[in-house]
């Protein structure tokens, strides 16, 4: 859904993107070095399996191959959408004008367009493990530059969720391998800064939820500090919102003093 197209007449996506300029490559390498250095300094326990990431039973009992279900499901969806909204895909083929940039976790239980009842073209989406947003991350900053600077989204949403495997595994310093150790290092650092508060919480799930909330709040501040976002906030009222998705209820909870889960008037087609 977050296809790399741009508004018609505004910005076209090259078929083969050029390599990033040397300054951006240097920035990415600097971040990687910082994360690797921080991970090396942190105490790491013996390797253990990832916690709370996998269901105990298969989610599907159809017996069909997972990839076959993907292809079959797409054909079914294409037929239904052609009947219910015959102009949808022809319109989207002309360009995109999403109103929301959504940062979320890669967890399969938090499909943003489904839980927000959105259509294709409504959201520009970026997801990673535990919805971690840190200064200098080339991936998230390039998304911001494109979605905010070029596509001109109106709202930015950072969504964490309950039962987040990344947050659960950031509650300790178990060795998860080089990539996950480095990626979760900012979340583990955040946990250490709030260790006393988290230690007072009585269950792993609630500890992880509190860490997920702190992570969203920190990420919102990081997004607001981005130069492209600051400019858009000053010039056209772009706003940044932090939310938590409750997997057990299917509902979003807005963090902070905001009073509505979704700003009024966002979905113009409703």
For the chain, which residues make up each domain, given as ranges? 96-254
> How crowded is the C-beta side of 27, counted as CA atoms within 13 Å?
14
CA 91/CA 16 separation, integer angstroms = 24
Instruction: From 64, 153, 25, select the one nearest 100 (Cα to Cα).
Output: 153
pTM, two decimal places: 0.76
Per-residue confidence in pLDDT tens, the chain, 270 aa: 444 444 444 444 444 444 444 443 443 433 344 334 444 444 444 445 565 555 544 455 566 899 999 999 999 999 999 999 999 999 999 999 999 999 999 999 999 999 999 999 999 999 999 999 999 999 999 999 999 999 999 999 999 999 999 999 999 999 999 999 999 999 999 999 999 999 999 999 999 999 999 999 999 999 999 999 999 999 999 999 999 999 999 999 999 854 334 444 443 333
Residue 164 labelled as part of a binding site: yes
Residue 246 labelled as part of a binding site: no
Phi/psi at 224 (5° precision)? -65, -25
Residue 205 labelled as part of a binding site: no
Bridge partners of residue 240, in order along the sequence: 156
Please state which architecture CATH assigns to domain 96-254. Answer: 3-Layer(aba) Sandwich (3.40)
Residue 161 labelled as part of a binding site: yes
Q: How many CB atoms lie within 10 A of CB 85?
A: 14
**Where is 196: in which H helix or E strand?**
helix 195-199
CA 21/CA 7 separation, integer angstroms = 24
């Amino acid at each position: 859904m977050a296809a790399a197209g741009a508004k018609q007449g505004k910005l076209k996506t090259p078929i083969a993107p050029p390599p990033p300029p040397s300054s951006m490559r240097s920035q990415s390498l600097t971040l990687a070095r910082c994360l690797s250095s921080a991970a090396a300094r942190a105490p790491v326990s013996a390797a253990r399996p990832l916690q709370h990431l996998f269901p105990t039973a298969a989610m599907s009992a159809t017996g069909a191959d997972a990839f076959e279900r993907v292809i079959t499901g797409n054909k079914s969806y294409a037929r239904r959408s052609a009947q219910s909204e015959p102009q949808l895909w022809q319109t989207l083929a002309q360009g995109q004008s999403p109103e929301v940039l959504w940062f979320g976790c890669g967890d399969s239980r938090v499909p943003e367009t489904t839980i927000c009842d959105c259509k294709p073209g409504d959201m520009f989406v970026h997801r990673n493990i535990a919805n971690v947003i840190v200064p200098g991350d080339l991936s998230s900053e390039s998304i911001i530059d494109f979605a905010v600077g070029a596509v001109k989204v109106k709202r930015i949403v950072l969504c964490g969720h309950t039962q987040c495997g990344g947050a659960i595994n950031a509650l300790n310093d178990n060795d998860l391998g080089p990539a996950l150790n480095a990626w979760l290092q900012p979340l583990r650092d955040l946990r250490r800064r709030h260790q006393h508060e988290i230690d007072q919480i009585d269950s792993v799930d609630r500890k992880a939820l509190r860490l997920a909330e702190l992570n969203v709040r920190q990420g919102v501040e990081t997004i607001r500090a981005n130069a492209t976002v600051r400019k858009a906030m000053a010039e056209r009222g772009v706003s940044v919102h932090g939310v938590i998705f409750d997997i057990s209820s299917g509902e979003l909870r807005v963090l902070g003093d905001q009073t509505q889960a979704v700003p009024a008037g966002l979905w113009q087609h409703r």
